[in-house]
Amino acid sequence: MPVYREISAIESKVFMGLSWRQLLAAVLLAIVCGGGYAGLVLGIGMDCNTAMYLVFIPGVPIAVWGWMRPKGLKPEQYLVYVLRHYTTREVYTLDGPAKPVHPAAKPTVKER
């Protein structure tokens, strides 16, 4: 029996070894990419290879959402951290948020 380090990292497998997220991503891929491919080839009469490359573009974000776990996090959790990193301007140090340094005019008793 496998023993996991972090219980929150476990996703239950519901169908053919896929988790709920992966199963939903597979269904969305079948609908979006399969339907788009059929519409481009059968409806418009586009070349099969060109249609394959065009349906690949919307399929990549869906597949990333379903199967990729950056840093062990779900993609929506990781995206929040990335957005927060690029939108905030705070500098953090080991002691907490950085504060402006104001040198004391006279040394304190501890500094003497």
Task: Please check whether residue 3 lies inside any domain of the structure.
Answer: no
Query: Among 78, 103, 82, 100, which residue's Cα sits nearest to residue 91?
Result: 100
- pLDDT tens digits, residue range 74-98? 888 888 989 988 888 776 667 766 6
- Residues making up the chain, counted from first to last: 112
Task: Please check whether residue 111 lies inside any domain of the structure.
Answer: no
For residue 42, the tally of other CB atoms under 10 A from its CB is 10
Range of the domain at 59: 11-97
Task: Please check whether residue 93 lies inside any domain of the structure.
Answer: yes
Query: For position 67, what pLDDT does the model report?
Result: 84
Task: Please check whether residue 6 lies inside any domain of the structure.
Answer: no
Task: Please check whether residue 105 lies inside any domain of the structure.
Answer: no
Residues of the chain with pLDDT under 70: 2-10, 91-93, 96-101, 103-104, 107-108, 111-112
Task: Please check whether residue 1 lies inside any domain of the structure.
Answer: no
